[in-house]
Protein backbone atom coordinates (compact mmCIF):
# COMPACT_ATOMS: atom_id res chain seq x y z
CA UNK A 1 0.00 0.00 0.00
CA UNK A 2 2.80 2.41 0.93
CA UNK A 3 4.62 1.60 -2.31
CA UNK A 4 1.45 2.29 -4.29
CA UNK A 5 1.04 5.63 -2.50
CA UNK A 6 4.60 6.61 -3.38
CA UNK A 7 3.98 5.76 -7.03
CA UNK A 8 0.86 7.93 -7.08
CA UNK A 9 2.80 10.85 -5.57
CA UNK A 10 5.63 10.32 -8.04
CA UNK A 11 3.23 10.22 -10.99
CA UNK A 12 1.55 13.36 -9.69
CA UNK A 13 4.80 15.34 -9.61
CA UNK A 14 5.88 14.00 -12.99
CA UNK A 15 2.51 15.07 -14.40
CA UNK A 16 2.79 18.57 -12.93
CA UNK A 17 6.35 18.96 -14.20
CA UNK A 18 5.40 17.72 -17.66
CA UNK A 19 2.46 20.11 -17.85
CA UNK A 20 4.66 23.03 -16.75
CA UNK A 21 7.36 22.11 -19.25
CA UNK A 22 4.89 21.84 -22.11
CA UNK A 23 3.26 25.20 -21.33
CA UNK A 24 6.61 27.01 -21.10
CA UNK A 25 8.05 25.37 -24.22
CA UNK A 26 6.97 28.17 -26.62
CA UNK A 27 8.62 30.73 -24.33
CA UNK A 28 11.83 28.69 -24.09
CA UNK A 29 11.93 28.24 -27.85
CA UNK A 30 11.41 31.96 -28.35
CA UNK A 31 14.29 32.92 -26.06
CA UNK A 32 16.51 30.35 -27.80
CA UNK A 33 15.64 31.87 -31.17
CA UNK A 34 16.54 35.34 -29.91
CA UNK A 35 20.02 34.16 -28.96
CA UNK A 36 20.65 33.13 -32.57
CA UNK A 37 19.63 36.45 -34.09
CA UNK A 38 22.12 39.21 -34.85
CA UNK A 39 19.77 41.76 -33.25
CA UNK A 40 20.47 40.16 -29.85
CA UNK A 41 24.17 39.47 -30.49
CA UNK A 42 26.15 39.89 -27.27
CA UNK A 43 23.07 40.86 -25.27
CA UNK A 44 22.27 39.58 -21.79
CA UNK A 45 18.65 38.51 -21.41
CA UNK A 46 16.99 38.10 -18.02
CA UNK A 47 13.43 36.80 -17.74
CA UNK A 48 11.38 35.87 -14.70
CA UNK A 49 7.74 34.72 -14.61
CA UNK A 50 5.88 34.03 -11.34
CA UNK A 51 2.47 32.81 -10.33
CA UNK A 52 0.77 35.91 -8.93
CA UNK A 53 -1.29 33.96 -6.41
CA UNK A 54 1.48 32.01 -4.65
CA UNK A 55 4.86 33.46 -5.78
CA UNK A 56 5.92 30.20 -7.45
CA UNK A 57 8.56 30.70 -10.12
CA UNK A 58 7.01 29.54 -13.42
CA UNK A 59 9.87 30.39 -15.76
CA UNK A 60 13.42 31.58 -15.15
CA UNK A 61 16.01 32.46 -17.75
CA UNK A 62 19.01 34.24 -16.20
CA UNK A 63 16.47 35.44 -13.65
CA UNK A 64 19.15 35.95 -11.00
CA UNK A 65 21.46 38.01 -13.22
CA UNK A 66 21.94 41.58 -12.01
CA UNK A 67 20.88 43.90 -14.81
CA UNK A 68 20.01 47.55 -15.39
CA UNK A 69 16.18 47.81 -15.47
CA UNK A 70 15.92 51.34 -16.96
CA UNK A 71 12.43 52.78 -16.47
CA UNK A 72 10.97 49.44 -15.37
CA UNK A 73 12.37 50.56 -12.03
CA UNK A 74 9.35 52.87 -11.80
CA UNK A 75 7.29 49.81 -10.86
CA UNK A 76 9.29 49.65 -7.63
CA UNK A 77 9.02 53.38 -6.96
CA UNK A 78 5.28 53.60 -7.59
CA UNK A 79 4.51 50.29 -5.89
CA UNK A 80 6.31 51.38 -2.73
CA UNK A 81 4.75 54.85 -2.83
CA UNK A 82 1.20 53.47 -3.16
CA UNK A 83 1.89 51.21 -0.19
CA UNK A 84 3.89 53.57 2.04
CA UNK A 85 2.29 56.95 1.28
CA UNK A 86 -1.18 55.70 0.34
CA UNK A 87 -3.14 56.10 -2.89
CA UNK A 88 -4.94 59.21 -1.58
CA UNK A 89 -1.76 61.06 -0.53
CA UNK A 90 -1.45 64.61 -1.88
CA UNK A 91 1.36 67.15 -2.05
CA UNK A 92 0.89 70.71 -0.83
CA UNK A 93 2.46 73.91 -2.15
CA UNK A 94 2.00 76.85 0.20
CA UNK A 95 2.34 80.59 -0.34
CA UNK A 96 2.44 82.41 2.98
CA UNK A 97 2.21 86.02 4.05
CA UNK A 98 4.69 86.71 6.86
CA UNK A 99 6.27 89.54 8.81
CA UNK A 100 10.08 89.67 8.99
CA UNK A 101 11.67 92.51 10.98
CA UNK A 102 8.53 94.56 10.46
CA UNK A 103 8.46 93.97 6.68
CA UNK A 104 5.68 92.13 4.83
CA UNK A 105 7.02 89.12 2.92
CA UNK A 106 5.88 86.21 0.79
CA UNK A 107 7.23 82.72 1.48
CA UNK A 108 6.83 79.93 -1.09
CA UNK A 109 7.16 76.46 0.39
CA UNK A 110 6.88 73.25 -1.59
CA UNK A 111 6.72 69.63 -0.53
CA UNK A 112 8.04 68.31 -3.83
CA UNK A 113 4.78 68.29 -5.81
CA UNK A 114 5.96 67.18 -9.28
CA UNK A 115 2.56 67.82 -10.85
CA UNK A 116 2.36 71.58 -10.25
CA UNK A 117 1.48 73.01 -13.64
CA UNK A 118 1.61 69.64 -15.41
CA UNK A 119 -0.86 69.52 -18.27
CA UNK A 120 -1.29 65.75 -17.85
CA UNK A 121 -4.13 66.55 -15.45
CA UNK A 122 -6.90 68.25 -17.41
CA UNK A 123 -8.50 69.88 -14.37
CA UNK A 124 -5.28 71.67 -13.42
CA UNK A 125 -4.06 75.11 -14.55
CA UNK A 126 -0.47 75.72 -15.68
CA UNK A 127 2.18 76.59 -13.11
CA UNK A 128 2.01 80.34 -13.62
CA UNK A 129 -1.77 80.40 -13.14
CA UNK A 130 -1.53 78.29 -9.99
CA UNK A 131 0.99 80.71 -8.49
CA UNK A 132 -1.18 83.66 -9.51
CA UNK A 133 -4.18 82.04 -7.80
CA UNK A 134 -2.21 81.53 -4.58
CA UNK A 135 -1.09 85.16 -4.68
CA UNK A 136 -4.59 86.46 -5.43
CA UNK A 137 -5.92 84.69 -2.33
CA UNK A 138 -3.41 86.55 -0.15
CA UNK A 139 -4.03 89.89 -1.87
CA UNK A 140 -7.66 89.80 -0.72
CA UNK A 141 -6.41 91.06 2.65
CA UNK A 142 -3.08 92.72 1.78
CA UNK A 143 -2.07 95.40 -0.72
CA UNK A 144 0.38 94.26 -3.39
CA UNK A 145 2.47 97.35 -2.73
CA UNK A 146 3.04 96.28 0.88
CA UNK A 147 5.07 93.17 -0.03
CA UNK A 148 8.80 93.83 0.15
CA UNK A 149 10.52 90.46 -0.21
CA UNK A 150 9.78 86.99 -1.61
CA UNK A 151 11.47 83.91 -0.12
CA UNK A 152 11.72 80.23 -0.90
CA UNK A 153 11.48 77.82 2.04
CA UNK A 154 13.03 74.48 0.97
CA UNK A 155 11.82 72.72 4.11
CA UNK A 156 13.34 69.23 4.37
CA UNK A 157 13.93 68.95 0.63
CA UNK A 158 17.56 68.36 -0.40
CA UNK A 159 19.31 71.51 -1.57
CA UNK A 160 21.19 69.53 -4.23
CA UNK A 161 18.53 67.18 -5.64
CA UNK A 162 20.52 65.95 -8.67
CA UNK A 163 21.65 62.28 -8.46
CA UNK A 164 25.43 62.12 -8.46
CA UNK A 165 25.75 59.74 -11.40
CA UNK A 166 23.39 61.37 -13.90
CA UNK A 167 25.12 62.07 -17.20
CA UNK A 168 25.27 65.64 -18.47
CA UNK A 169 23.57 64.57 -21.70
CA UNK A 170 20.58 63.39 -19.66
CA UNK A 171 20.49 66.31 -17.25
CA UNK A 172 20.23 68.77 -20.10
CA UNK A 173 17.30 66.99 -21.75
CA UNK A 174 13.67 67.62 -20.82
CA UNK A 175 13.33 64.00 -19.66
CA UNK A 176 16.34 64.49 -17.35
CA UNK A 177 14.64 67.14 -15.22
CA UNK A 178 14.75 66.19 -11.54
CA UNK A 179 12.31 67.00 -8.75
CA UNK A 180 12.85 69.99 -6.45
CA UNK A 181 10.88 71.24 -3.46
CA UNK A 182 8.94 73.48 -5.86
CA UNK A 183 8.44 72.20 -9.40
CA UNK A 184 6.99 74.01 -12.38
CA UNK A 185 5.41 72.47 -15.51
CA UNK A 186 7.40 69.24 -14.97
CA UNK A 187 10.57 71.36 -14.83
CA UNK A 188 10.71 71.69 -18.60
CA UNK A 189 12.19 74.86 -20.07
CA UNK A 190 10.76 75.74 -23.48
CA UNK A 191 13.06 77.99 -25.49
CA UNK A 192 11.93 79.79 -28.63
CA UNK A 193 14.71 81.16 -30.84
CA UNK A 194 13.41 83.73 -33.32
CA UNK A 195 14.19 86.81 -35.39
CA UNK A 196 12.45 89.02 -37.88
CA UNK A 197 12.29 87.73 -41.47
CA UNK A 198 15.59 89.36 -42.28
CA UNK A 199 18.97 87.63 -42.29
CA UNK A 200 20.56 90.73 -40.79
CA UNK A 201 18.10 90.92 -37.88
CA UNK A 202 19.40 89.95 -34.42
CA UNK A 203 18.30 86.77 -32.70
CA UNK A 204 16.07 86.87 -29.64
CA UNK A 205 14.93 84.28 -27.12
CA UNK A 206 11.59 83.67 -25.47
CA UNK A 207 11.93 81.47 -22.38
CA UNK A 208 8.92 79.70 -20.84
CA UNK A 209 8.93 80.02 -17.90
CA UNK A 210 10.72 83.36 -18.14
CA UNK A 211 14.05 82.88 -16.34
CA UNK A 212 15.94 85.56 -18.25
CA UNK A 213 16.64 87.43 -15.00
CA UNK A 214 19.02 84.58 -14.04
CA UNK A 215 21.44 85.59 -16.79
CA UNK A 216 23.59 88.64 -17.35
CA UNK A 217 24.92 87.33 -20.69
CA UNK A 218 23.26 85.56 -23.63
CA UNK A 219 25.60 84.40 -26.39
CA UNK A 220 24.20 83.42 -29.82
CA UNK A 221 26.11 81.15 -32.19
CA UNK A 222 23.46 80.30 -34.78
CA UNK A 223 24.29 79.63 -38.44
CA UNK A 224 22.12 79.47 -41.54
CA UNK A 225 21.98 75.85 -42.77
CA UNK A 226 19.99 73.22 -44.67
CA UNK A 227 18.64 71.66 -41.46
CA UNK A 228 17.71 72.99 -38.04
CA UNK A 229 19.29 72.04 -34.72
CA UNK A 230 19.55 73.89 -31.44
CA UNK A 231 21.15 73.45 -28.05
CA UNK A 232 20.78 75.65 -24.99
CA UNK A 233 23.51 75.58 -22.34
CA UNK A 234 23.40 77.33 -19.00
CA UNK A 235 25.89 75.69 -16.63
CA UNK A 236 24.71 75.43 -13.03
CA UNK A 237 26.19 78.33 -11.07
CA UNK A 238 26.82 80.37 -14.21
CA UNK A 239 25.19 83.67 -15.15
CA UNK A 240 25.63 83.03 -18.88
CA UNK A 241 23.33 81.32 -21.36
CA UNK A 242 24.76 79.94 -24.60
CA UNK A 243 22.64 79.34 -27.70
CA UNK A 244 24.29 77.06 -30.28
CA UNK A 245 22.67 75.79 -33.44
CA UNK A 246 21.58 76.00 -37.03
CA UNK A 247 18.45 77.51 -38.54
CA UNK A 248 17.07 76.02 -41.75
CA UNK A 249 17.02 78.35 -44.77
CA UNK A 250 13.86 80.43 -44.79
CA UNK A 251 12.92 79.57 -41.21
CA UNK A 252 12.74 82.28 -38.56
CA UNK A 253 11.60 80.47 -35.44
CA UNK A 254 12.59 77.27 -33.64
CA UNK A 255 11.66 75.64 -30.34
CA UNK A 256 13.66 73.33 -28.08
CA UNK A 257 12.76 71.74 -24.75
CA UNK A 258 15.33 71.19 -22.03
CA UNK A 259 15.49 70.66 -18.28
CA UNK A 260 14.66 73.59 -16.01
CA UNK A 261 17.42 73.48 -13.39
CA UNK A 262 16.09 75.99 -10.86
CA UNK A 263 12.28 75.78 -10.82
CA UNK A 264 12.15 77.43 -7.37
CA UNK A 265 13.82 80.55 -8.76
CA UNK A 266 11.48 80.53 -11.76
CA UNK A 267 8.47 80.35 -9.44
CA UNK A 268 9.74 83.25 -7.33
CA UNK A 269 10.38 85.28 -10.49
CA UNK A 270 6.80 84.68 -11.66
CA UNK A 271 5.48 86.06 -8.36
CA UNK A 272 7.88 89.01 -8.51
CA UNK A 273 6.88 89.86 -12.09
CA UNK A 274 3.20 89.68 -11.12
CA UNK A 275 3.67 92.11 -8.23
CA UNK A 276 5.73 94.48 -10.39
CA UNK A 277 2.98 94.43 -13.02
CA UNK A 278 0.63 95.52 -10.22
CA UNK A 279 2.83 98.54 -9.49
CA UNK A 280 5.17 97.16 -6.82
CA UNK A 281 8.56 97.89 -8.42
CA UNK A 282 10.39 97.65 -5.10
CA UNK A 283 9.74 93.97 -4.35
CA UNK A 284 12.91 91.85 -4.35
CA UNK A 285 13.82 88.21 -3.92
CA UNK A 286 15.08 87.42 -0.43
CA UNK A 287 18.25 85.52 0.36
CA UNK A 288 18.34 82.56 2.76
CA UNK A 289 15.04 81.88 4.50
CA UNK A 290 15.10 81.61 8.31
CA UNK A 291 11.77 80.45 9.69
CA UNK A 292 12.57 81.75 13.18
CA UNK A 293 12.53 85.34 11.88
CA UNK A 294 9.12 85.08 10.19
CA UNK A 295 5.72 85.55 11.82
CA UNK A 296 2.98 83.76 9.86
CA UNK A 297 0.01 85.98 9.02
CA UNK A 298 -1.88 84.05 6.35
CA UNK A 299 -1.34 81.21 3.89
CA UNK A 300 -2.83 79.86 0.69
CA UNK A 301 -2.46 76.19 -0.25
CA UNK A 302 -2.51 74.31 -3.55
CA UNK A 303 -3.04 70.53 -3.39
CA UNK A 304 -1.82 68.09 -6.01
CA UNK A 305 -3.83 65.29 -7.59
CA UNK A 306 -3.93 62.13 -5.46
CA UNK A 307 -0.98 59.77 -5.52
CA UNK A 308 -2.83 57.07 -7.46
CA UNK A 309 -3.32 59.51 -10.33
CA UNK A 310 0.35 60.50 -10.12
CA UNK A 311 1.45 56.84 -10.12
CA UNK A 312 -0.80 56.08 -13.09
CA UNK A 313 0.71 58.91 -15.15
CA UNK A 314 4.20 57.85 -14.02
CA UNK A 315 3.77 54.25 -15.17
CA UNK A 316 1.58 54.88 -18.21
CA UNK A 317 3.77 57.58 -19.76
CA UNK A 318 7.10 57.02 -17.96
CA UNK A 319 7.33 60.48 -16.38
CA UNK A 320 10.80 60.67 -14.81
CA UNK A 321 10.25 63.76 -12.68
CA UNK A 322 7.14 62.21 -11.08
CA UNK A 323 9.04 59.05 -10.13
CA UNK A 324 11.99 61.10 -8.88
CA UNK A 325 9.67 63.10 -6.62
CA UNK A 326 7.99 59.98 -5.22
CA UNK A 327 11.34 58.42 -4.33
CA UNK A 328 12.62 61.61 -2.68
CA UNK A 329 9.36 62.01 -0.75
CA UNK A 330 9.68 58.50 0.68
CA UNK A 331 13.32 59.16 1.57
CA UNK A 332 12.40 62.34 3.46
CA UNK A 333 9.58 60.64 5.36
CA UNK A 334 11.82 57.70 6.27
CA UNK A 335 14.76 59.84 7.35
CA UNK A 336 17.01 58.04 4.86
CA UNK A 337 19.15 59.51 2.08
CA UNK A 338 19.92 56.42 -0.02
CA UNK A 339 17.30 54.91 -2.39
CA UNK A 340 18.95 51.50 -2.16
CA UNK A 341 18.65 51.47 1.63
CA UNK A 342 15.01 52.51 1.35
CA UNK A 343 14.16 49.66 -1.05
CA UNK A 344 16.09 47.05 0.95
CA UNK A 345 14.44 48.16 4.21
CA UNK A 346 11.04 47.96 2.55
CA UNK A 347 11.74 44.43 1.30
CA UNK A 348 12.85 43.20 4.74
CA UNK A 349 9.86 44.86 6.40
CA UNK A 350 7.48 42.98 4.11
CA UNK A 351 9.20 39.60 4.28
CA UNK A 352 10.90 39.72 0.88
CA UNK A 353 14.15 37.97 1.69
CA UNK A 354 17.52 38.16 -0.01
CA UNK A 355 16.94 41.33 -2.00
CA UNK A 356 20.33 42.46 -3.29
CA UNK A 357 20.31 45.41 -5.64
CA UNK A 358 21.79 48.83 -6.36
CA UNK A 359 19.20 51.59 -6.60
CA UNK A 360 20.38 55.14 -7.31
CA UNK A 361 17.16 56.95 -8.19
CA UNK A 362 13.41 56.55 -8.54
CA UNK A 363 13.03 56.99 -12.29
CA UNK A 364 15.44 54.42 -13.69
CA UNK A 365 17.41 57.04 -15.61
CA UNK A 366 20.60 56.16 -13.74
CA UNK A 367 22.65 53.51 -15.51
CA UNK A 368 24.02 52.42 -12.13
CA UNK A 369 20.72 50.82 -11.10
CA UNK A 370 21.09 47.05 -10.82
CA UNK A 371 18.46 44.43 -9.95
CA UNK A 372 17.53 40.95 -11.16
CA UNK A 373 14.37 39.94 -13.01
CA UNK A 374 13.54 37.46 -10.23
CA UNK A 375 13.68 40.22 -7.64
CA UNK A 376 11.49 42.42 -9.82
CA UNK A 377 8.75 39.78 -9.98
CA UNK A 378 8.97 39.21 -6.22
CA UNK A 379 8.30 42.89 -5.64
CA UNK A 380 5.57 43.09 -8.30
CA UNK A 381 3.70 40.21 -6.64
CA UNK A 382 3.85 42.05 -3.33
CA UNK A 383 2.73 45.38 -4.81
CA UNK A 384 -0.21 43.59 -6.47
CA UNK A 385 -1.04 41.90 -3.15
CA UNK A 386 -0.95 38.53 -4.93
CA UNK A 387 -4.23 39.26 -6.70
CA UNK A 388 -5.48 40.74 -9.96
CA UNK A 389 -7.03 44.19 -10.41
CA UNK A 390 -5.01 45.74 -7.58
CA UNK A 391 -4.47 49.48 -7.30
CA UNK A 392 -0.90 48.86 -8.45
CA UNK A 393 -2.07 46.96 -11.55
CA UNK A 394 -4.49 49.77 -12.41
CA UNK A 395 -1.56 52.20 -12.50
CA UNK A 396 0.21 50.29 -15.29
CA UNK A 397 -0.02 50.81 -19.05
CA UNK A 398 -2.15 48.25 -20.92
CA UNK A 399 -0.82 46.50 -24.01
CA UNK A 400 -2.48 47.82 -27.15
CA UNK A 401 -4.65 50.17 -25.09
CA UNK A 402 -2.69 52.91 -23.32
CA UNK A 403 0.56 54.75 -22.75
CA UNK A 404 3.90 53.44 -23.91
CA UNK A 405 2.33 50.03 -24.68
CA UNK A 406 -0.48 51.31 -26.90
CA UNK A 407 1.31 50.82 -30.22
CA UNK A 408 3.73 48.08 -29.19
CA UNK A 409 1.80 45.27 -30.94
CA UNK A 410 -0.82 45.07 -33.68
CA UNK A 411 -4.41 45.49 -32.57
CA UNK A 412 -5.25 41.93 -33.69
CA UNK A 413 -2.69 40.45 -31.28
CA UNK A 414 -4.32 38.04 -28.80
CA UNK A 415 -2.26 39.68 -26.04
CA UNK A 416 -3.97 43.09 -26.41
CA UNK A 417 -5.64 44.11 -23.16
CA UNK A 418 -4.11 41.22 -21.21
CA UNK A 419 -0.66 42.63 -20.38
CA UNK A 420 -0.27 45.39 -17.77
CA UNK A 421 3.29 46.64 -17.62
CA UNK A 422 5.90 49.36 -17.35
CA UNK A 423 8.36 49.73 -20.20
CA UNK A 424 11.98 50.76 -19.88
CA UNK A 425 14.63 51.86 -22.32
CA UNK A 426 18.12 53.32 -22.42
CA UNK A 427 20.82 52.92 -25.04
CA UNK A 428 21.58 49.19 -24.95
CA UNK A 429 18.78 48.49 -22.44
CA UNK A 430 15.18 47.37 -23.00
CA UNK A 431 12.83 46.11 -20.30
CA UNK A 432 9.19 45.32 -19.52
CA UNK A 433 7.85 44.47 -16.07
CA UNK A 434 4.30 43.86 -14.93
CA UNK A 435 1.36 41.45 -14.93
CA UNK A 436 -0.28 39.23 -17.54
CA UNK A 437 -3.48 37.16 -17.75
CA UNK A 438 -2.94 33.88 -19.60
CA UNK A 439 -5.27 32.10 -22.01
CA UNK A 440 -6.32 29.87 -19.11
CA UNK A 441 -7.28 32.88 -17.00
CA UNK A 442 -4.26 32.57 -14.72
CA UNK A 443 -2.48 35.72 -13.52
CA UNK A 444 1.32 35.91 -13.66
CA UNK A 445 3.95 38.54 -12.97
CA UNK A 446 6.86 38.90 -15.35
CA UNK A 447 10.04 40.89 -15.84
CA UNK A 448 12.02 40.93 -19.07
CA UNK A 449 15.32 42.82 -18.95
CA UNK A 450 17.71 42.98 -21.90
CA UNK A 451 21.12 44.62 -21.45
CA UNK A 452 24.20 45.24 -23.60
CA UNK A 453 22.56 44.89 -27.00
CA UNK A 454 24.09 46.87 -29.86
CA UNK A 455 20.93 47.18 -31.94
CA UNK A 456 18.29 49.86 -31.51
CA UNK A 457 15.43 49.42 -29.06
CA UNK A 458 13.06 49.94 -31.97
CA UNK A 459 14.48 46.81 -33.65
CA UNK A 460 14.14 44.76 -30.46
CA UNK A 461 10.52 45.83 -30.01
CA UNK A 462 9.67 44.12 -33.31
CA UNK A 463 10.13 40.77 -31.53
CA UNK A 464 7.83 41.55 -28.61
CA UNK A 465 4.55 40.53 -30.23
CA UNK A 466 5.61 36.87 -30.17
CA UNK A 467 6.98 37.31 -26.66
CA UNK A 468 3.66 38.49 -25.27
CA UNK A 469 1.81 35.75 -27.17
CA UNK A 470 4.13 33.19 -25.57
CA UNK A 471 3.48 34.73 -22.15
CA UNK A 472 -0.29 34.43 -22.40
CA UNK A 473 0.13 30.82 -23.57
CA UNK A 474 1.68 29.78 -20.24
- Tens of pLDDT, residue by residue over 418-465, are 999 999 999 999 999 999 999 999 999 999 999 999 999 999 999 999
- What average pLDDT does range 121-130 have in this prediction? 90
Q: What's the Cα-to-Cα distance from 254 to each of 171, 205, 245, 275, rounded to whole Å?
A: 21, 10, 10, 31
pTM of the predicted model over 0.85: yes
Contact 182, 262 (CB under 8 A): no
Question: Cα–chain-centroid distance for residue 385?
Answer: 23
* pLDDT, position 236: 66
Which CATH homologous superfamily contains domain 28-87+307-472? DD-peptidase/beta-lactamase superfamily (3.40.710.10)
Of 425, 432, 428, 420, give the one whose Cα is nearest residue 467: 432
Q: Which letter does DSSP use for residue 386 in this model? A: T
Of 50, 64, 63, give the one whose Cα is nearest residue 474: 50
Contact 377, 447 (CB under 8 A): yes
* pLDDT, position 21: 53
Indicate the domain borders of the chain: 28-87+307-472, 92-303
Helix (H) or strand (E) holding 284: strand 284-285
Residue 186, Ramachandran bin (φ over 0: left; ψ between -120 and 50: alpha; else beta): left
Of 460, 389, 446, 410, give the one whose Cα is nearest residue 24: 446
* pLDDT, position 8: 44
What sign does the CA torsion over 351, 352, 356, 362 have? negative
* pLDDT, position 247: 87
Of 397, 321, 403, give the one whose Cα is nearest residue 75: 397
Helix (H) or strand (E) holding 17: helix 2-35
Of 79, 95, 91, give the one whose Cα is nearest residue 137: 95
What is d(CA 276, CA 144) in angstroms, rounded to the nearest whole number?
A: 9
Compute the mean pLDDT over every residue in the chain, rounded to the nearest whole number. 91
Please state which of the ranges 9-23, 393-407, 416-430 shows the lowest mean pLDDT.
9-23
Contact 473, 406 (CB under 8 A): no
- What average pLDDT does range 106-115 have in this prediction? 97
- Tens of pLDDT, residue by residue over 140-150, are 999 999 999 99
Q: What share of the chain is helix, strand, coil (3-state, %, to 5)?
A: 35, 25, 40
What is d(CA 362, CA 336) in angstroms, rounded to the nearest whole number?
A: 14
Which spans in 368-410 are helix H?
373-383, 391-394
In 349-390, the DSSP E strands lie at 371-372
What is the CB-side half-sphere exposure of residue 60 using CA atoms within 13 A?
16
What is d(CA 400, CA 406) in angstroms, rounded to the nearest whole number?
A: 4
* pLDDT, position 290: 93
C-alpha angle 10/15/16, rounded to 5°?
A: 100
* pLDDT, position 173: 85
Amino acid sequence: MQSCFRKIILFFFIGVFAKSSVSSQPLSSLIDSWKNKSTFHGATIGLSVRDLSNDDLIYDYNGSANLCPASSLKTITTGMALDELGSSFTYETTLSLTIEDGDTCLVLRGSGDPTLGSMRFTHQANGQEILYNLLDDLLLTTEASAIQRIYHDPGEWPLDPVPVDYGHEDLGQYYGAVAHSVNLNENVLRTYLKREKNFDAPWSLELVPNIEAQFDTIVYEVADASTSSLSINYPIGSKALFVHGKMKHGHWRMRVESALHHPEFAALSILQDKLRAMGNEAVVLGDLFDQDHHLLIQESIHKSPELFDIAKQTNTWSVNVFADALMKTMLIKSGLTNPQELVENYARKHGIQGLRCRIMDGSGLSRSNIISANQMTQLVNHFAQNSSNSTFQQSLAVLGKSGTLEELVLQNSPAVGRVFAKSGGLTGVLSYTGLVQTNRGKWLSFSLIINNHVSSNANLRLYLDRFFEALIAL
